[in-house]
Structure 1
């Protein structure tokens, strides 16, 4: 996940710059996840795009920390400023990237909402996009199988 000479398609960073990265593959449409973990790590729901794991090129990783958030996944964040950066399911070969950390223009759009059964009670979902009470089974991005974030 470090180095490489592939041409970046997207770039991003944490708030303080202790983690900077480039993505060398096209971004999946963005998906808003309303699960309790995403709400607790972001303070609201979290919006992620995704790329193949090998498309991540870390250009600065001094602050990168990983937290095992469940038996099957871990979350990457900046240990200095706390920015929520990545979500990775074990063995999936894909990396979810928090869309808010990408430099604009991102070239992606919000495709829908997942885990809406767990959304906060203080907001509604009135954007008309597809919503799923649990995982969407890849319907929002064309993948098969389950994913979170």
Structure 2
């Protein structure tokens, strides 16, 4: 799913064909799991961010919002003179996001009482939201299903 999503995003002219690379936030903050299964949404977000960052080859810049505390701490140390400014110098502010990825994960479960086969249909919807205008500049829906006769193995 993440590979397909990465290819879809990089084909979007709004995201990949701009004069200045857009600054994008990809973290698990606005992913909602409404499925019947427990899952770590940060695993999906991390995989997407890493794959997109590698494939974007500079066409998108990724804001490390999940590391905002770390960035803020270093900025305070530099401005207080406790450490030097490093090699890149100082900026007025940390990077803001142009777009942020949000998503929802849903599932529908069914069990055949005669055969004992459990089947789960999964749907994952992602939207890239313009953080100034509130518009959706890209969206993708990914579906898959799984089935198994033994519910313990199935889960």
Q: TM-score range by the shorter chain?
A: under 0.3
- Higher Rg of the two aligned structures: 2
User: Between Structure 1 and Structure 2, which shows a larger proportion of helix residues?
Assistant: 2
TM score, norm. by length of structure 2: 0.24
Query: How does the TM-score come out when normalised to structure 1?
Result: 0.24
